[in-house]
Structure 1
């Protein structure tokens, strides 16, 4: 029996597993192939609802999907602590102790971690939203802040990308509802303009998000870099300090090097180089996808973006290719060219770019939640969340109408047809 071991049950890992299982059903039934997924946590963490969790519209459990019902006997809960690439074995630490796990094909889909190595004081004094354990601690702390405070408090969000903008807007919305005390939200961005990945092609939605934050009272610090997080303040590279009762990092990522895999080719950031078929460059039975993978973009040749959608699509392609390799078939190249980007904003509003079309307001928010619900790993988990969120939208819309306020018309900016046609090729 040949065994495929997948490291990580994030977006890339689960999609790779699903693609392999659907294409190897007969071989799995005959026990010619075995699939194993190793994950430290018993659940998959879905980051699409981070904004809604931070506002309090969803509980933190909404981001978690149990792995056992999805993976069945293929699931091994534990930490991979070492690899022997020559001997094709992994050392896995589980609650029952360490075990050796042999493989014929290895899929590295271990994702990324917060940049603890690049921002001083983050591990001691900062808060993060990427890891579910950190998110649970953060939400619990925010709930403790719902009461009155004798003095105004300051929250500093680090990151001017989609995650940082969404986090700052959500916190401003959450504390805007709080009548117990004043909370000042600061957003620190190293770029001169927020949302640099959207510019210049999508300035309309990037500027809309910037105006929304300003309208919410978020204090913007652009062109600033955080060098140190202390207990009561954040230090900036230009010498300035920002008072901080809580500093949340929603930018940057680091990549762990699993002991025993140091020989795999990596870029300066620590990502593992993949070829066009998602194999590790120079290796026939080691594959890589997701944040930890440096995958060449099918059009530009530059590394693909490191985000959830790209990880899912890479996982799909990788899974199909592993199945093809096990069947002795030729491999296919990764050919996904992109679909869109989105972020939620306060009041069931958002910004969305979909096939180069730009949407703002409640239409953008609705497109976003429908899209995110579709990509959740479990439809059973997605449906009640979708119902709850659309209920919030209905309540907000009905409330505005009842109070006689104008109901915002959804906006869309259409890209010239020539540009759209080129994007779809």
Structure 2
């Protein structure tokens, strides 16, 4: 059994915004795949091509991106999704995202860099540095802007020339209420709390472009901002377009067992799969709780297929959803019941801490949260860039000199 992934770790994405806001250490929400799956052969690389007819996967890795070919009897496709910028001008080049650990670290560095720069700028040049725009009122956008707001309003007191009144945080959402995945009541509660804490919410508004440090909005207004966080769209992985199998809204269409029709031994799971609910015929939503259960059912069905046994359809009803909205408050909808305020925030932390793999990481995150109650947030800016000549340089054997 071989697992291919571009990173050698599993990222627990629900806590990503806490890394960006300096609440958690960046290594505490990731688990090394080699420790998680000790009996699985792991290959760190990028999937370049999938040949269903030849039963072969082309993978590239290394500095020179050389290729390997992996043959298979059974193939499980779980490529997830990518950010969709909808071809809006300037977004792909300049907007930040919140999908990877690198994204969270980059956003954290950008926030601290903006504070450092603004502390020595004149008033006119300071405003764009102190303005943060988040596009997308779903879970990622709301949790990110809430965490960033808490971080900046605490951090700004350490900069002698800055004031919390200089901060401007804007959440742009195309719908009439944020967090549409939850009830309208919870969405309005979350919007009210964010508004009380200084977050400006633009409803029924879309980002049209981001050029020269200015965010263009659909209501005709412009927001000068050095930082735009884009969480307003996803798209299926482009490799799926190359596969000769049926797709629904870009995702691979599977049967109720998560196997791809007409391609025995090929399975799809998670965000890249469209698996029908046998009770309604509609595809399951691409959420983490569905993907987790799909993975378990798929594993059983794959083993059953190898043994010639009967497979079982995937059946699951969502348990609920939660969102942290800053200042130890949250919103949650669990088993049809609404929770808000401190109890929802406590549920968020308790449930997600229980879902975090490995006891070691659970303890480290719990310790981070405890220390966060006692000490102020860290303002260290991590620098990861290398000199240009070292980035482009390849070390050849004749470059190595041994001296006795």
The TM-score range, normalised by the shorter chain, is 0.7 to 0.9
Tell me the alpha carbon deviations over residues 15-48 of structure 1, each in whole angstroms, 9 at most, x when there is no partner. xxxxxxxxxxxxxxxxxxxx11000111111111
> Hey, what's the Cα distance between the residues in 2 that align with 1:205 and 1:394?
30
Equivalent position of 1:59 in the other structure = 25
Q: 1:238 to 1:145 in 2, by over 3 A?
A: closer
Q: 1:97 to 1:192 in 2, by over 3 A?
A: same
List alignment gaps of at least 5 residues for structure 2. Answer: 377-404
Equivalent position of 2:311 in the other structure = 331
> Hey, what's the Cα distance between the residues in 2 that align with 1:391 and 1:357?
32
Tell me the alpha carbon deviations over residues 104-134 of structure 1, each in whole angstroms, 9 at most, x when there is no partner. 1110001111113444322211001112222
Equivalent position of 1:86 in the other structure = 53
Please say if 1:294 is aligned against 2:294. no
Equivalent position of 1:165 in the other structure = 142
Alignment of 1:268-307 (within 5 A): 268=249, 270-307=250-287
Equivalent position of 1:408 in the other structure = none
> Hey, what's the Cα distance between the residues in 2 that align with 1:370 and 1:259?
36
> Hey, what's the Cα distance between the residues in 2 that align with 1:243 and 1:58?
30
Q: 1:260 to 1:352 in 2, by over 3 A?
A: closer
Equivalent position of 2:132 in the other structure = 155
- Among residues 95, 101, 123, which one is paired with 1:126 in the alignment? 95
| Displacement of 1:390 | 4.8
- Among residues 181, 186, 199, which one is paired with 1:218 in the alignment? 199
Helix, strand or coil at the partner of 1:348? coil
Q: CA RMSD in A?
A: 2.1
- TM-score of the superposition, structure 2-length normalised? 0.83
Conservation of the 8 A alpha-carbon contact between 1:348 and 1:393: no
Q: For this pair of structures, how many residues does the alignment match?
A: 358
> Hey, what's the Cα distance between the residues in 1 that align with 2:8 and 2:32?
6
- TM-score of the superposition, structure 1-length normalised? 0.79
Please say if 1:248 is aligned against 2:229. yes
Alignment of 1:21-36 (within 5 A): 35-36=1-2
Please say if 1:143 is aligned against 2:112. yes
> Hey, what's the Cα distance between the residues in 1 that align with 2:279 and 2:360?
36
Q: 1:183 to 1:281 in 2, by over 3 A?
A: farther
Q: 1:143 to 1:334 in 2, by over 3 A?
A: same
Helix, strand or coil at the partner of 1:91? strand
> Hey, what's the Cα distance between the residues in 2 that align with 1:339 and 1:394?
34
Alignment of 1:2-401 (within 5 A): 35-72=1-38, 73-95=40-62, 97-147=66-116, 148-149=118-119, 150=121, 151-152=126-127, 153-177=130-154, 178-179=156-157, 180=159, 181=162, 182-198=166-182, 202-258=183-239, 261-268=242-249, 270-390=250-370, 392=372
| Displacement of 1:168 | 1.2
